[in-house]
Chain A
């Protein structure tokens, strides 16, 4: 290791500065970027990207990879749409079936990967192709709306329902209150056990920042139609993944397996079970994203889900998740997803041609990982 490393604080600043620069550029080029309408739009798109990325996070944390999620998003969304539109099912039943199918398929892939020892890259590359083929067969290469006629159902409302302004504010206030209470309780318990505590100032500042971020969502979105339902879905997923990774054995085991699988085995960890559970969770997130993405598109069309696996992986990596496994955080992934979603949203707003969008996204990904390797002091 080279002796002279820039202070690690730089690493924490590089990505926020990059996001600020991207946002500033878009805002200057097109003032509507910062308007409540576009920010709400961005919120929905961000929710979709980040949900999938959080599923991918658990898989990558365990040292695996999943290339099949983009096709899976299309397929699962397509199955639910066909059940609703062609077979007249109720939306809740159709979504439930899609959800269970996804968990089943991903459990199976996880088992193949960890028990039969076929590399995840290959199994999920196979999954990418198989799911894509199944998807096109299921929707018969056509456009299948997520609801019949113009009536709304649970499926279509996933990305078109907005909380009434008062409810949005109440939910935000409730979240901030819950966060403060939980933080205070954790601090008390740590103090009783004699654990080292953060300084009051630092803890207070962190809480304040989080409160501002939470409060901003209803305050901005209420100026358009209100807090989108998909933002609540993302919040629920993020809290779940945070709890899993930081507060359960399952999460510890994921970090351990990704860090050193052989040592994890000798520590008595049931590695196959943990990895399969990570893939099953990935399946659940594919289903949720499949529903929101398809609903956002208004209908299941053959291109839904295209390349979403790369956005999910990019979000993880930009957020500091190591592709070797064992390193990364929920906050990082949420941040990485925000960069990817902002980039795409802004370019769409500026009517950047699709070929330039690809080039920009690829460049940002490579640049982000380079800065991590160069300034982060750790290899990605």
Chain B
């Protein structure tokens, strides 16, 4: 077999406060489908961005070679010219243009200064035919479904003479039949010598299509094997790893069985919009005082939507009830009502949903609880400052001052500000969505300790996490969501990464 076309050696990529890639070693040969597997946060997206030139040469350590030469991509265009095309879950197509115009966007055939529409359409037709796509080149892209759009993206990549396709979760949004068409095409491309990096959570699919499989965990490549010799339990074991526990200082308070639950959800079904099919299906669960209930699942399983709905800012409830300390919480009552009822939400995207980045720490901390400082002659700012200062010190926010602009803080400190803001409202149930994403180990530990303090004081915590070790380490009980429904419930004694992952993939009986 020929030597590798692409080779990555000892790649390390650091972001402020966190090391995203800690040593990536793998290669791709011409005409090979090479699958990359790993949990959310293992470093797959960072690696793709590096291959596609989004993280430019020089922003990482290690060696990236393409066709035997060092690949010094400074921008996306450089990677494309070297023959690498990255296709992500978000399409880079212009909806209002035709299929042909999209395929040749920026590289249109011209006659003088005018676009030669006929030649454009004719060339596009040839490409579409090669893919067995019965789409007219003049069709506006907005009229296409998700599957055809994905294929148009691939056609566009190939028309740029790409030697390597990088596909990120290409089948996540496809129907079974569309996925089959995609697979057939990938096999044909392989026969023609085009290589492919294939990223998917669907392990069966990976086993079916891939020649080789490389596993990423915590930013490093931990195993690489021929697909023919791999088994799904093997893959899961490598993805999860074995070194858990010690990092997670969960101290569960005395068992509280029999005490009335703080949060109780009964047969909850929620659709994203009126008339749309349900995204959350028939969920029932309860959280007791002092308990940490973990929610796991794959991306898109509905965990974030669940928390957002409980907090009154997502979706339309089709059925079911939510009770907080025995009191019903109306659907879509809004975050103000949820906060007043004793609920708090720390969102997974702190920059978008959590912080006013242009303001200082103090402004952000007290923002959700200004009511308690309101007086007839205006806000009692000295008292507000004192209250803020208590949280700055309790959360050990950097520098111990509340005057610094939030936008300039590290991820860990920003997350502490969001946590502080919600805890200042005096919640009884705290919903945490990926509370440690993208923050360093020290800040992680402090957040775990905070969870312990909250539950020790009789509060309840709902913890959503994509990191299985964290979920296992910090939860007293875990519910795995699979496509919006509960795929399995596990008590502490039953926690095992293999079982949880199997439940997340909707295979409750597999992998014992």
* Residues of A in contact with B (beta carbons under 8 Å apart): 189-190, 192-196, 243, 247-249, 252-253, 255-256, 259-260, 262-270, 326-327
Contacts and interface: CB of A to CB of B under 8 A. Distances in A.
A97 B115 CA distance: 61
Interface string B337-350: 01110000101000
Interface residues of B, number: 36
Contacts of A194: 385-386, 389
26 contacts: A190-B382, A190-B385, A193-B385, A194-B385, A194-B386, A194-B389, A247-B379, A248-B374, A252-B363, A252-B367, A252-B370, A256-B359, A256-B363, A256-B367, A262-B352, A263-B354, A263-B356, A264-B356, A265-B335, A266-B345, A266-B347, A266-B353, A268-B335, A268-B336, A270-B336, A326-B356
Nearest to B386: A193
Given A266-B347, A268-B336, A189 B378 contact: no
Contact of B357 (A247, A253, A260): A260
B277 interface: no
Contacts of B377: 247
B355 interface: yes
Given A249-B371, A268-B425, A259 B357 contact: yes
B368 interface: yes
A154 B339 CA distance: 49
A326 B347 contact: no
Given A249-B374, A267-B335, A327 B382 contact: no
B313 interface: yes
A161 to B, nearest CB: 31
A255 B382 contact: no
Contacts of B507: none
B421 interface: yes
Given A259-B357, A260-B357, A264-B356, 9 more contacts: A193-B385, A248-B374, A252-B370, A255-B359, A256-B359, A260-B356, A263-B356, A270-B334, A326-B358
The binding surface of chain B is classed by DSSP as: helix
B352 to A, nearest CB: 6
A259 B367 CA distance: 12
Nearest to B401: A196
A327 B357 CA distance: 11
B77 interface: no
Contact of B382 (A195, A259, A269): A195
Nearest to A257: B356
B293 to A, nearest CB: 21
Contacts of A326: 356, 358-359
B311 to A, nearest CB: 7
Contacts of A263: 352-356
B403 to A, nearest CB: 8
Contacts of B119: none
A286 B363 CA distance: 31
Contacts of A270: 334, 336
A61 to B, nearest CB: 12
A268 B336 CA distance: 4
A190 B313 CA distance: 38
B355 A268 contact: no
Contacts of B386: 193-194
A70 to B, nearest CB: 30
- A-B residue pairs, 6 tightest by C-beta: A247-B378, A193-B382, A259-B356, A268-B336, A268-B339, A267-B368
Given A266-B311, A267-B421, A255 B385 contact: no
B129 interface: no
Nearest to B385: A195
Contacts of B425: 268
Nearest to B371: A249
A267 B347 CA distance: 11
B394 interface: no
B381 A247 contact: yes
A186 to B, nearest CB: 8
A176 B111 CA distance: 75
Contacts of B338: 268
Nearest to B373: A249
Nearest to A248: B378
Nearest to A273: B336
Given A193-B382, A193-B385, A252-B367, A260 B355 contact: yes
Interface in B378-404: 378-379, 381-383, 385-386, 389, 403
Nearest to A327: B358
Contact of B313 (A193, A243, A253, A265): A265
Contacts of A264: 356, 367
B378 A243 contact: yes
A272 B249 CA distance: 43
Contacts of B356: 255-256, 259-260, 263-264, 326
Contacts of A268: 334-336, 338-340, 368, 425
A326 B367 CA distance: 14
